[in-house]
Amino acid sequence: MDRRNFIKSTAITTAGIGVLSSTELFAQTNGKIKIGFIGVGLRGRNHVQIALNRDDLEIVAVCDTQEESLAQCRKQFNAKGTKLPKEYTGGVDAYKKMLSNEKLDAVIIATPWQFHKNQAIDAMKAGLYVGCEVIAGLTLQDHWDIVKASEETGKPYMTLENVAFRRDVLAVLNMHRQGLFGELLHLEGGYQHDLREVLFNDGKAYYGHGVEYGPKAISEAQWRTQFNIDQDGDLYPTHGLGPIMQFADINKGNRFTHITSYSSKARGLAAYVNKVSPGHPNGKINYKNGDITQTMLQCANGETMLLTHDTHLPRPYSIGFRVQGTDGIWMDVAKGIHIEGKSKPHTWDSADEWVKKYDHPIWQKYEEVANGSGHGGMDWFVFNAFIQAVKQKVQTPIDVYDSVTMSAVFPLSTESIAKGNKTLEFPDFTKGKWKTKKNTFMLDDSGM
Amino acid sequence: MDRRNFIKSTAITTAGIGVLSSTELFAQTNGKIKIGFIGVGLRGRNHVQIALNRDDLEIVAVCDTQEESLAQCRKQFNAKGTKLPKEYTGGVDAYKKMLSNEKLDAVIIATPWQFHKNQAIDAMKAGLYVGCEVIAGLTLQDHWDIVKASEETGKPYMTLENVAFRRDVLAVLNMHRQGLFGELLHLEGGYQHDLREVLFNDGKAYYGHGVEYGPKAISEAQWRTQFNIDQDGDLYPTHGLGPIMQFADINKGNRFTHITSYSSKARGLAAYVNKVSPGHPNGKINYKNGDITQTMLQCANGETMLLTHDTHLPRPYSIGFRVQGTDGIWMDVAKGIHIEGKSKPHTWDSADEWVKKYDHPIWQKYEEVANGSGHGGMDWFVFNAFIQAVKQKVQTPIDVYDSVTMSAVFPLSTESIAKGNKTLEFPDFTKGKWKTKKNTFMLDDSGM
């Protein structure tokens, strides 16, 4: 399907699509692009696997401080019969050697959050595209520093926010762009995921055993749990906000103006430790991160958004999406859609049928290759979107402004809560460019 | 079932229940209590019907400014073969004559919101119990004035908040009191109800036709719609907040400390008029009330609450209840409950089964008499709760502090939004008494 037909077939005819010419979009680079990995823990290796399945790139080098992660990564290459990449290790600065020694087009960063900012800035300064796992930085200044580095180097920075590519999310975005919801008014999302078995383990198995974190644990519990001890805010806003930002054209004709956060007391993690291992000292820690954090956002064009962070409690997983306009509403918790004039009055339709009917063309086209890539296929889409931008030497579909906007809710929510639920002005990372930028997210098929 | 066994049977053994002695609770007055009605529109007549079905009270007088409402009310008495009440009419002050002429024990107020405060205060000053429909007053000062009148006269004031008595809500309250959710952390509620056919009609039928409001309309559209034109705030907070306040012991060992509201742009009502009657001038009105208003509340004991007001858009009805603690969660939108150790991990149980299992004893006892009373039976429970307090000369189960607390979100949300989503201190209407008051809501069976 070429780009013109693709757009026609999805009936997306009103949004601005003039920012990239077809020539630019489909100009292919010669040969394979060369990428390096900073961080090949569980998450990094998920991207490595997707990369190994592609024939348009070469993993030249990987970097990690832990031999266990590098060893697991080697197994992936060997299983695929692919030439092993050069390895950089020996300390948290090892990635700098990789950046100066290797000739790369892009890096994928999948390290603990506290390392993301410097690694990303150094990579952009080395002339590389950056695909960085979620949480761009820890402070608001970190986020501004990333914008500055991208603007000064001219290098795109893309947060690898995968939920923006989830099949139902893109189907509903498709519905929105075809006008089914009427004028958009309110959106909700969040990260409601019982992470207790991720935040604690026994130092041997990844999940399901033990109540250790930090040096006595492995994988994410080594570093992530400390944030739940130290910070009271929405630690993980991007899976909720990344997708709904695209619906509301944030940074593309719209922007956030105000933000306020509330958080409940923190009881879940200590309660968990006390249930699993009564008397363990980790049950006596004064965890600061409220069990439920909610954040309200006001948009310049009059829409409102609500984000929820809820990761310390027993509960079924839910992003809690809600998309609502003058003509209808989608709520994933209700598994329902209601569209005026099409649904029975005051009644939910099953969302499944609507999602199938409005399936996004990129999912129809790439379903087979995406399947099995992780998180229901959406990991393939986010990785592919980044790689296509690198190959075509164009802006990434989630640009540096989008990336820092969704991530900045972390420090902003923390500040709001620390100041007694104070309402804060949301910074305009685009410095006014939001007024003229056009939303082209998933309007085109960037190809394989 | 006597009170002791009632409490035992619901395993509610930890909450304080010492505020009323059994003697006080079950001291019956001699003969029938005498009540008057201020307002016999649709809502008032619903209460009249419940009252006519009881043999422990006499409706001595009714008051309304509209002959049509009085005529409909007469039909109710005639159909029941009950002696007609004395009627007061002729202007908005007619109720004052009723208060001075008649010997009453209590009044039921079901008039437009703007009349509630003065009518309630005058009734308390006349020595009567007041059962007032939701929305106690329009300004914060109105709410303080009601508290002052109740304290000075010693007369109880109860908001007739019916959803607090909904069968599933009381079943889940029962679960909470038995400790199923562990330590409570977060609650949600709201009023998400497509009211467009309530806010507009053709002046003939109550619902489903026409786009008129004000003098050209009948019933609620005569007066209620004007609030949607004039005010940007949560106009109807009590159905969401009344129930969840009881879970968190608000004003009884807990209180609200902070409140912040956000509202989306207002497009729904004009869009509705334009759909139903293109070109009608009511489609050009600048409605101020945002289509989605959300309010966050912080509690002194560390819980958070979220309220949603959503009445101008096509959508299925939902109060959006969520009750969440260290051990589990109930979400009515998901139709699910998850309790750690009892539910399959990461999976919703059907809420229906749990709600049946934990059905509140008062519903088991009074189900038959309540059925058919309106709103699934809960109208009978709220009316009965008020009448029992009048008969027994005790405090109403929803007291004046609870009543104004849930209603004050109307002016407070409006102020927060008008001041740029400013976070406000929530007033302590109890002036410190919340620290020692005990929550006895639905702990006892006040009998028939």
Task: Give chain A's domains with CATH numbers.
Answer: 31-155 (3.40.50.720), 166-360+400-435 (3.30.360.10)
pLDDT tens for residues B69-91? Answer: 999 999 999 999 999 999 999 99
Quick check: helix, strand or coil at residue B144? helix
- Rounded CA-CA distance B358/B178 in Å is 10
Chain A interface includes B306 (CB < 8 A): yes
Q: To 10 degrees, the CA torsion angle through A400, A406, A411, A413?
A: 160
- CA-nearest of B153, B156, B95 to B129 is B156
pLDDT in tens, A82-126: 999 999 999 999 999 999 999 999 999 999 999 999 999 999 999
Please tell me the predicted confidence (pLDDT) of residue A373: 78
CB contact under 8 A, A316 and B347: yes
Task: With CB atoms and an 8 Å threshold, state whether A258 touches B420.
Answer: yes
- Residue in B258, B327, B333 closest to A334 by CB: B333
What is the chain A residue with the closest CA to B185? A264
C-alpha torsion B13→B14→B16→B17, nearest 10? 0
A52: phi then psi, degrees, rounded to nearest 5: -65, -25
Contacts of A288 in chain B (CB under 8 A): none
Average model confidence (pLDDT) across chain B = 92
Q: CA of A332: which chain B residue's CA is closest?
A: B334
A192 three-state secondary structure: strand
CB of B265 within 8 Å of a chain A CB? The answer is yes
Q: Which of residues 359-378 of A touch B (CB under 8 A)?
A: none
* Average pLDDT of span A18-31: 39
Mark which residues 402-431 of A lie under 8 Å from B by CB.
Answer: 420-423
> Could you tell me if A71 lies within 8 Å of chain B, comparing CB atoms?
no
Q: Report the amino acid identity of residue A78.
A: N
Tell me the average pLDDT across A121-150: 98
A104: left (phi over 0), alpha (psi -120 to 50) or beta: beta
Residue among A182, A186, A327 whose CB faces B264 most closely? A186
Three-class SS of residue B186? strand
A125's enclosing H/E stretch is: helix A113-125
Confidence bin at A446 (pLDDT 50/70/90): low
The CA-to-CA distance between both ends of chain B, in Å, stands at 12
CB atoms within 10 A of CB B148: 13
Closest CA to B199 of B185, B184, B217: B217
Residues of A in contact with B329 (CB under 8 A): 313-315
> Exposure string (b/e) for B9-43, b if CB count within 10 Å is 16 or more?
ebebeeeeeeebeeeebeeeeeeebbbbbbbbbeb
pLDDT > 70: percent of chain A? 92
CB atoms within 10 A of CB B106: 23
Q: Which of A304, A328, A423 sits opposite B420 (nearest CB)?
A: A423
Residue A23: its pLDDT value, please? 33
DSSP B32-92: -EEEEEE--SHHHHHHHHHHHT-SSEEEEEEE-S-HHHHHHHHHHHHHHTPPPPEEE-SST
**Neighbouring residues of B121: CB distance < 8 A, sequence distance ≥ 6:** B145, B146, B149
Contact A304, A297 (CB under 8 A): yes
Kindly give the parts of chain B with pLDDT less than 50. Answer: 1-29
CA A151 to chain CA centroid, nearest Å: 21
Residue A342 pLDDT > 80, yes or no? yes
- CA B210, distance to chain mean position in Å, is 28
Per residue in B364-388, pLDDT (tens digit) is 999 998 987 777 889 999 999 999 9
Interface mutation vs chain B, best among A187, A192, A265, most B CBs within 10 Å: A265
* Percent of chain A topping pLDDT 90: 89
Main-chain phi, psi angles of A212, to 5 degrees: -95, 155
- From the CA of B331, how many Å to the nearest CA of chain A? 9
Cβ–Cβ contact B339 with A under 8 A: yes
Compute φ and ψ for B42, nearest 5 degrees.
-55, -50
Do the Cβ atoms of A436 and A192 come closer than 8 Å?
A: no
Residues 6+ away with beta carbon under 8 Å from A73: A37, A40, A44, A45, A48, A62, A64
Q: What angle do CA B108, B113, B119 make, to 5 degrees?
A: 45
Contact B339 A314 (CB under 8 A): yes
State residue A13's pLDDT score: 33
Pick the residue from chain A with its C-alpha nearest to B297. A262
| Residue B314 contacts A where some CB pair is shorter than 8 Å | yes
**Mean pLDDT of all residues belonging to chain A:** 92
pLDDT tens for residues A345-381?
A: 999 999 999 999 999 999 999 999 898 777 788 999 9
Are B51 and B40 within 8 A, CB to CB? no
Query: Do the beta carbons of residue A421 and residue A232 sit within 8 Å?
Result: no
Residue A51 pLDDT greater than 70, yes or no: yes
CB contact under 8 A, B326 and A271: yes
What does the block give as tokens for B1?
């079932």
Q: What is the pLDDT at residue A26?
A: 34
Q: What is the pLDDT of residue A372?
A: 75
**pLDDT tens digits for A258-289?**
999 999 999 999 999 999 999 999 999 999 99
The residues near B296 (Cβ < 8 Å, ≥ 6 apart) are A260, A262, A294, A296, A421, B258, B259, B260, B261, B304, B305, B306, B307
Do residues A85 and A62 touch, judged by C-beta distance below 8 A? yes
Main-chain dihedrals φ then ψ at residue B392, nearest 5 degrees: -90, 0
CB within 8 Å of chain B, chain A residues 171-200? 182-183, 185-186, 194
Region A411-427: mean pLDDT is 98
